[in-house]
Amino acid sequence: MEIVSQNKCFGGVQTVYSHPSETCGVDMTFAVFMPPQARKQSVPLLWYLSGLTCNHENAMTKGGFQRYAAEHGLAVVFPDTSPRGEGVSDDNAYDLGQGAGFYVNATRAPWKPHFQMYDYIVNELREKLQEALPINGRHGITGHSMGGHGALTIALRNPSLYESVSAFAPIANPTQSDWGRKQLSAYLGDDEASWASYDASILLNDLGWKGDILIDQGADDQFLDLLRPEALTDVIAKKRQPAMIRMQDGYDHSYFFVSSFAEDHVAWHAERLHGNGN
């Protein structure tokens, strides 16, 4: 892990790192905010997974998470959304290829050699952070849009690794949406049965979740039909899953929406990561 940049922030430190990834086969860049409490003790870690076209920088600079993470004693990691660079497959469309890894393990050419974002997040980056930083082993995960999809699917498949999960405007039912069917077909092939393990609505129905879930969705989100929040809320009602789904009047899909509710999500995760929540 090489330091790319480092800045003092709300009494803590915001650092950008680069490292060679065995999982993705290229150098990967990510950002970590360490709160001031980490100077004296290990702290819980909140993962923030970003959406389409984003890299590590978008939420780091626009999300406003650091202030609240410093108040609650949480570290926050902002990974990239895909492998990048020379030799990494890409597409002319904004929603496939570099910047659009969808947090899956690709099994189909030309994506398979590098697009292993599920394993990168769940295994490789987690292990590197635990080894290198004062992280106490309690992890929460959240994300926006494609990253909300990633947060939900990763947590639901790995309940022993995460104490809490939330999402901002997640792609909730990608197997039935144009934000999903295109990418899952490209990365995984045409066998739709293989797509189910990357669909939060299907996973929640099949696996459930050990605790409660927080989801914020802008009621004026311009991509609402692609996100399909109703599919997830139907499963929540059917399974009687403890959850809070908030349709936020007047909010769209932008980082203005994310930053408006960042405080709520950080505080919500802090309660559960510090052992005081559901």
At 268 the pLDDT is: 98
Give the total number of structural domains in the chain: 1
Domain with 94 in it: 2-274
Active site members: 145, 221, 253
**Quick one: pLDDT at residue 278?**
42
88 three-class SS: coil
Average pLDDT over residues 147-160: 98
pLDDT digits (tens, 9 = 90+) for 6-30: 999 999 999 999 999 999 999 999 9
43-100 pLDDT tens trace:
999 999 999 999 999 999 999 999 999 999 999 999 999 999 999 999 999 999 999 9
pTM of the predicted structure, to 2 decimals: 0.97
* Residue 98 near residue 24 (C-beta atoms within 8 A): no
Q: 79: domain CATH number?
A: 3.40.50.1820
Q: Write down the H helix ranges in 133-245.
A: 146-157, 178-188, 200-207, 224-227, 229-239
DSSP structural state of residue 52: T
Query: Hey, how many other C-beta atoms are within 10 angstroms of the C-beta on 39?
Result: 12
The mean pLDDT of 150-164, rounded to a whole number, is 98
The per-residue pLDDT of the chain, averaged, comes to 97
